[in-house]
Amino acid sequence: MLDLAAKILSAKGPCIFATGQAGFVVKSSSGQLLAIDLYLSNCVERVEGHKGFKRLLPEILSPFELTFDVIICTHPHLDHFDIDAVPEMVSKGSKMYCSVDCEKLVHQLQMEYYNDSIAYIKPGNRSSEGDFELLFVNCDHGTGAPDAVGVVVKVDGKTIYEVGDSRLRLDRAAEIPMPLDVLISPINGMYGNMNSVETAKLAEALRPSITIPCHYGMFASHGGDLKHFYDVMNEKHLPALIMRQGEQYRLERTQ
């Protein structure tokens, strides 16, 4: 078992673990696990076939190691729907929520056997799975993934908003439940995503207790300037946490 899997299993929830790129694991106080956009393999480089998508961060978690209660894939880009990892994770009885444009990948991977465990979701859909309350919200990832979604996760009295891959859309900020404990947002400013300044503007609008950046460091072609994010958030006096891969962020439980 890799170190991260052991760390997740032994951790006291509620908490969040960063796995790299846009991947996060949320653990509840009772030990249930939710996975968002885990990229665990090197499938993007294999499929895309050029060096700009070489995996630069280590593979710190295997899809064989943990059983997730909930798996979320916000859209079908392969760093969010890992075709080498998702079938194995779903095979363990997990409930998977994915955007409607992921259905083609499910078919290609011959995952129809698990159809009863797969839900195709759109903005506005809600669901409860064990300790987790889910609200799927709009995002704007352009024509390459027009059905992409973000997700608001409520667990143990805490609210986490994972923006998904999106441009800045302050006109949709009212869709997000308040108060917000954690905002997770991309900062790479490429491929239809917000940059550091735009994520700071979103944080100003939503006023989360903490903002966690994502979508940096995995691929040379994707960009992402942590120093710029750090400076912008400091200048605006906005609380932020830059998580190293495998790091845990503890949420204080609210009754």
What pLDDT does 75 receive? 98
Q: Which CATH number fits domain 3-245: 3.60.15.10, 3.40.50.300, 3.40.50.170, 3.40.640.10?
A: 3.60.15.10
Domain residue limits, the chain: 3-245
List, for residues 191-201, the tens digit of each pLDDT value.
Answer: 889 999 999 99
SS (H, E, C) 183-231: EEEECECCCCCCEHHHHHHHHHHHCCCEEEEECCCCCHHHCCCHHHHHH
- What DSSP assignment string belongs to 92-125? TT-EEEEEGGGHHHHHHTT-GGGGGGEEEE-TT-
Predicted confidence at residue 2, as pLDDT, reads 63
Q: What is the pLDDT of residue 192?
A: 86
Q: Which two tokens stand for residue 152?
A: 């608001």
pLDDT at 227: 97
Q: How far apart are CA 207 and CA 101, in angstroms?
A: 31
Residue 31 one-letter amino acid: G
Residues 6+ apart with CB under 8 A from 104: 76
Those residues with Cβ within 8 angstroms of residue 175's Cβ, 6 or more apart along the chain or in another chain = 123, 137, 138
158 SS3 class = strand
CA pair distance 37, 23, nearest whole angstrom = 5
Q: Which residues of 13-52 are buried (b: 16+ CB within 10 A; e: fewer)?
A: bbbbbbbbbbbbbbbbeeebbbbbbbbbbebbbeeeeeee
Q: What is the pLDDT of residues 27-85, one digit of tens each?
A: 999 999 999 999 999 999 999 887 799 999 999 999 999 999 999 999 999 999 999 99
Q: Per-residue pLDDT averaged across 108-116, rounded?
A: 93
pLDDT > 90? residue 156: yes
